[in-house]
Structure 1
Amino acid sequence: MTETALVWLRRDLRLADNPALRAALDAGFAPQLVYIDDPEGEGGWPLGAASRAWLRRSLAELAEAVASRGGRLLLEQGDSLTILRGLAGELEAGAVYWNRRYEPAVIERDQAVKQALRGDGLEARSFNAALLREPWTISTQQGGPYKVFTPYWRRVQADLDEVSPPCAAPRELPPSKLEGRSLDDILPLPSPRWDRGFWEHHRPGEAAAHSRMEAFFEDIDDYPEGRDRPDLTATSRLSPHLAFGEISPRQILHALREDSPANEEARQHFIRELGWREFSYHLLFHFPECTDADLTSSLKGFDWAEVDEDSLEAWRRGRTGIPIVDAGMRELWATGTMHNRVRMIVASLLTKNLRYHWLHGARWFWNTLVDADLANNTQGWQWSAGTGADAAPYFRIFNPVSQGERHDPDGAYVKRWVPELQAMPLRHLQQPWTQPDALARCGDYPAEPLVDLKSTREAALAAYKASRS
């Protein structure tokens, strides 16, 4: 009888290019796939509500794919080590394999799991499934981590040709002796069904990830010019699939080089975006405290404003009276995602015009994004606030009016998500408070912006300069 190996799945919800699964098969084990819902093992950043809604559907898709190959995906809930030990005993398993994660609390948990399992006499091994290059394999000439993207990416690019091609999914999987728990048991449907609108825009799962990638590649030549236009569908929309490991960066890189009709400019532009994701993980690994504290000390004395809950709630709900900001926050609430350019605009308003600490935004995004990723979310917010590595200069404060006029030139994005403004003339759409008569005919849209953009910009600049001196 073939000995069993548990393959412990987490943010690697795919069968193709899954190194832990492939290693188990290559070693001659009968793999038993298991997913354990273990929020306490995630430390201070357990999955938010929107991500758990995505996870439920992704696991359902994966379970179906496993079943179609003759196997069963076991679903469990509780302490990871306790459950892995229990399953290993029931199945008389000889090994437990998994793919690595890089969040601080998860690293600590995984190290303890590996040590305990080996102490039990089991083979316990982990693999890289999420990154092109793992954080500890890249260092400066002085031997330390990078804190600036350009030299980091120059170093990574030099080795991209060495990235091995992705491995195929197994055609068959062995049957399971165990039933596990039901999906409804460990991840019940949201109640009320606030997530219904998500699925008009997204389809979770490994098959959907590859379909999304292929569709993006068909129009990728428009990416360099169109990626900043929220009114267009020029971005890849692969971020939630990457966040849950339904597709790997190695698969994307390989497909982009081998199968994509993209011109070289578009190809390199998108590969660079994969590089920013890699850089975020590099920072997260080397500076684990950055999830909750400023990465740099340059703004250590910055005068963050005391939070007014009504203002913060107006920002969260898309009621700031600033159309491009409100459109982004409403898109987030309705779909679980937001265009990247608009993420920067709404983050600038929160951290610079309102002068609220970036963690207020990071926590809200973490709970409402279906593509919530601790490395990307942390570094995106620290970049916007000016507190992170390679951060936006403190004097870069986005003007949401000019940003809206430039990147939503026909007003299509604003009018889609802020329908109250449908009748507002285009020339006034991004600053409707300048036309009170027209605005009065726009339902209950705020008559004034939440903040005066000019005076709050000046106050932020003064506060930044004072802290730096």
Structure 2
Amino acid sequence: MSSSPIIVWFRESLRLSDHPALYEAARSGTRIVCSYVHDQESPGLRPLGGATRWWLAQSLRALQAELHALGAGLVIRRGAAAEVLCELARETKAGAVYWNDVAQAAPRAVAADVEAALAEIGVSSRVFPDDLLVDPAELRGKDGRGPRVFTPFWKRVLALGDPPKPLPRPARLSHAPGGASLPIDELALEPLKPDWAGGLRASWHAGERAAQARLASFLETAVQTYAADRDRPDIEATSRLSPHLRFGEISPRQVWHAARFAAAERPASAAGIDKFLSELGWREFSRHLLYNNPDLATRNLQPSFDAFPWAQDDAALQAWQRGRTGYPIVDAGMRELWHTGSMHNRVRMVVASLLVKHLLIDWRLGEQWFWDTLVDADPGSNPASWQWVAGSGADAAPYFRVFNPVLQGEKFDSHGTYVRRWVPELARLPAALVHQPWAAKPLELAEAGVALGRTYPAPFVDHKPGRERALAAYASLRTSD
């Protein structure tokens, strides 16, 4: 056994199973120092939003508990990763630092700085692929670019076969003293005054064990009807794994192989599992887009959109953020988001369409709001999805697709269950009116206790003129090409 310990730098893989860097360090038999660096100083890193900061605190606590159960600890520090890890290596007399790759431009630049700084003090580095099913380099064409349309992308991924099997969790760790560690509270990740995270705490449990339990439950139950029910926000029909994937509490390889095993064990669930894995494919596709376009959150992938006539409408933006647009399905989604840090995916598309098409507000403002309020705000999926809705992305929705929020509500929340939960002022309206209260007669509104314009707003913009205005804006963009 080497006398020099190995530092395992936990980055976006906050778990113990299928953790390549931890697995290799443990397999070596060398003493290990597990470390997390809260880096808000290295250039290029996008600061976390409020909801993801809250989740990170819970995830770190869960990781600490898992490591303690194996007789190890987690050294938590803050600062530029290169400086912090060099200092920790000196303190512990470490001979090497292992970490998992994060296939994004800014994190890779940080990792390159870490590797160079460690080399200067005679400490070696080992980097392991981790956060994707397929390395982006494997899918690049002769022009050096990766696929920009989802369907051919996913076909190429599937043609490569199953990703590597997940690595086992270490049975034990040979722990090396790691020096001083910051308490998680000192990272100031959670809100205090005011404490707005009560709904998040009531809605979520972070950590690796919670992620594994959620995946197992989904594959045993909801996946069988996933293909048919996944667009319904009124029932629990989705996996809700996205925040766990976002923080690496579970890996895409683990999800893939568990799903394939479930399909083999229960053939009746195969169709649902195929659809579920294609949604995992959208996460993968978005991460590949981000790899090839580091400024995905700020730059239109379609350059023609740089001339789009976005409106400056602070009142409309604020009404949208607060769930006061007058469209019940939209307002339900925005209030669910504020309370729980999440929103059903179908509703995300509807609320995004209303903002960028009915209201003609720049998609980047919506992306920023989601970045701050979603517990699963993913650096790839969040901007890629907003660009998809806006039509400015690589694989974009057609410009003429303008979701009708009334029809979307009636189709996917036909009994009004979802709207009644999150917009309780409409709870007494019948299903035929709950998605369009302005269509109710005065007596019907009075019986339901609804006063349009007072207890619930009238629509900020009517669908038909809003759609026509959006199509005219998109038409002007095309004629100016």
Distance 1:64 1:168 in 2: 18
CA contact (8 A) 2:324 2:457 kept: no
1:371 matched residue in structure 2: 376
> Matches of residues 149-164 of structure 1 in structure 2 within 5 Å?
149-161=150-162, 163-164=163-164
CA contact (8 A) 2:22 2:98 kept: yes
CA contact (8 A) 2:297 2:367 kept: no
Which stretch shifts more, 443-452 or 75-84? 443-452
Distance 1:125 1:439 in 2: 66
Distance 2:133 2:88 in 1: 32
CA contact (8 A) 1:95 1:122 kept: yes
2:236 matched residue in structure 1: 233
Distance 2:8 2:378 in 1: 22
Task: Tell me the secondary structure at the aligned position of residue 53 of structure 1.
Answer: helix
Distance 2:199 2:113 in 1: 40
Residues 1:448 and 2:450 are matched in the alignment? no
Q: TM-score normalized by structure 2?
A: 0.94
Which stretch shifts more, 44-53 or 205-214? 44-53
1:415-455 deviation per Cα after TM superposition (whole angstroms, max 9, x unaligned): 00000001112111111112262445226433410112111
Distance 2:231 2:142 in 1: 35
1:425 matched residue in structure 2: 430
Please state how far the C-alpha of 1:44 moved relative to its aligned partner.
Answer: 5.8
Q: TM-score normalized by structure 1?
A: 0.96
Distance 2:231 2:323 in 1: 20
1:55-85 deviation per Cα after TM superposition (whole angstroms, max 9, x unaligned): 1111101101100100001111111111100
Which of 195, 210, 213 is the equivalent residue of 2:212?
Answer: 210
1:329 matched residue in structure 2: 334
> Matches of residues 206-285 of structure 1 in structure 2 within 5 Å?
206-219=208-221, 220-259=223-262, 261=266, 263-285=269-291
Which stretch shifts more, 219-228 or 2-11? 2-11
Task: Tell me the secondary structure at the aligned position of residue 160 of structure 1.
Answer: coil
Structure 2 letter corresponding to 1:449: P
CA contact (8 A) 1:280 1:376 kept: yes
Q: Which runs of 5+ in 1 are unaligned?
A: none
Which stretch shifts more, 431-440 or 237-246? 431-440
Distance 2:457 2:376 in 1: 33
Distance 2:161 2:384 in 1: 23
Length, aligned pairs only: 467
Distance 1:42 1:367 in 2: 20
2:173 matched residue in structure 1: 173
Residues 1:89 and 2:100 are matched in the alignment? no
Task: Tell me the secondary structure at the aligned position of residue 307 of structure 2.
Answer: coil
CA contact (8 A) 1:40 1:46 kept: no
Please state how far the C-alpha of 1:115 moved relative to its aligned partner.
Answer: 2.0
Residues 1:289 and 2:295 are matched in the alignment? yes
Q: Which runs of 5+ in 2 are unaligned?
A: none
1:395 matched residue in structure 2: 400
CA contact (8 A) 1:439 1:447 kept: no
Please state how far the C-alpha of 1:138 moved relative to its aligned partner.
Answer: 1.0
Task: Tell me the secondary structure at the aligned position of residue 124 of structure 1.
Answer: strand
Query: Percent of counterpart pairs with the same letter?
Result: 46
Please state how far the C-alpha of 1:304 moved relative to its aligned partner.
Answer: 1.1
Structure 1 letter corresponding to 2:308: F
2:12 matched residue in structure 1: 11
Distance 1:42 1:325 in 2: 36
Please state how far the C-alpha of 1:339 moved relative to its aligned partner.
Answer: 0.2
> Matches of residues 20-419 of structure 1 in structure 2 within 5 Å?
20-41=21-42, 43=44, 45-140=46-141, 142-161=143-162, 163-177=163-177, 178-187=179-188, 189-191=190-192, 192-219=194-221, 220-259=223-262, 261=266, 263-306=269-312, 308-419=313-424
Structure 1 letter corresponding to 2:323: G
CA contact (8 A) 2:325 2:457 kept: no
